[in-house]
Structure 1
Amino acid sequence: MSRHVAIVTDSTAYLPQRTMDRHGITAVPLTVVLGDHAYEEGTEISARSLAQALQKRTSVTTSRPSPAVFAETYRKLAAQGATGIVSLHLSAEFSGTHEAATLAARDAPVPVRVVDTGMVAMALGFCAMAAAETAEADGSIDEAVSAAEKRAAATATYFYVDTLDYLRRGGRIGATQALLGSALAVKPLLQLDSGRIELLEKVRTASKAIARLEEIVARRAGAGPVDLAVHHLAAPERATTLAARLRDRVPGLVDLHVSEVGAVIGAHTGPGLLGAVISPR
């Protein structure tokens, strides 16, 4: 390796492969179980296959990587020359991934700092990129962790879903909130707050909810330098339209990533998801 501190994240960061290659970031895959078959996210199952399974109401569950998978990842990086590792993962409120990484770190051949970023999707991806850029500048393991934590503290995530049912079934949102949305026939806007999904606003129609999402993101982005990400599941037109409008409305935009979420997040949000990540530089 060209640097001493290696950066590890997990497949829910949804970083483009070219970005991971450029920064030397390693992503450990979570597992998606469709019916009786288990698949590694990002390598063995597509978002389209997941969306079709959800629409057919096929049983879908997700599981964390095992500590053994993390242990092997840490050993390989140490063998490649890493003298320290920063392992950044999705919110511990969503998954046991952080716990599995922590267990593996105890016996790693080099020091490993495991961080619960409280983030997911490109909110996690931006944290991994911040840590990697610090490491590339010969930053220490503590400096790389600090860079990731600083980025996480400034990052906000908002999203729209067609229904709260998938989040309710996966235990990611309270039954009371889900039932309220269904009973009132409203379209929910949600936010990631302290590592948890919270209901932000209830809007009467999908078009109004997406317009409101745009307003919230543009206001939160402000005028300073900022990176944005737009995510979707089986809703490419929505994502393309939102991204184009944000390009026009955010004067300090540096990078804009548009991508479909992977199977792990998609399993809990359902088709129709439209989300945005705001990450000031």
Structure 2
Amino acid sequence: MDSYEDPGTPHPSARGTQAIGRAAALLRALAHDNRNGLRLAQLAPKLGLERPTAYRILRRLDLGELVYDLGLLADSGNHLRDLCRGSVERLAIESGDTSFLIAPRGSDCICLDRAEGTYPIKVLTLDPGQRRPTGIGAGSIALLALLSPQESARVLEQNRQRLATLGENDVEALIACVERARADGYAIKQPPDVPEVLSLSIALHDAAGAPALALSIASLATRITSRLPTLVALLRDEVRSLRPLLGPAGARSVDRIDRAGPQRVTAQTPASASRKRRMTSS
């Protein structure tokens, strides 16, 4: 599982590997905080590096057109965004709210795509390309629910420190949230820093049986809870439409989702959201 902690101080014979590891960790840190960017004084402590060392790595990386080109290559090799674009757009149109496509990346989850609905209050909890530690958001909870209880708990425990820095201080509560998602066939989650918002998500396996993607809808809590059966049905329809693209394991995911239903809502739903404003949170 990847993270952006400093890989440590290796034997002198491994200096080349250390440099590569530090450069990769730096890129992951920048990707995680891509909305606002990072100052060198913020970046160095995240990597466990002295500022001069972090500065030298940045100078040598030449973060410009090469990184952009590599991003294009990675995108062309992974067609999930293109394959799922229609589903993401339909969810936004039919729900009126913001929809997301989420995919696992090691111990993180990344937002591959986003579409905005017509409802005037926009819940923009993630930007396309933004990474967060697995355990933040309904999409990552839905993906964890496709793992065994032991494996999902291990991922959350591994991310404990990073989750705490983002307001998720109770890993045991997250494990319980994953268990509910596993039983219900969908995940519902309240951001720790935006209590009037809920996100709803369903995830799918790939052909090899590994968690591949999650489709999510985010809106005011009252809009989610008042339309829960309808929104779950919308997500199921789009997940079902993706089944031929993901192979037999994806079909098994849909079969399990079909057997489950919107049985209960477990997140708090304060109604303090009548104001017309544009919400953003990381």
Q: Which has more radius of gyration?
A: 2
Q: Could you tell me the TM-score, scaled by structure 2's length?
A: 0.27
Question: TM-score w.r.t. structure 1 length?
Answer: 0.27
Q: Which structure has the highest helix share of the two?
A: 2
- Structure with the bigger RCO (C-alpha within 8 Å, sep 6+) is 1
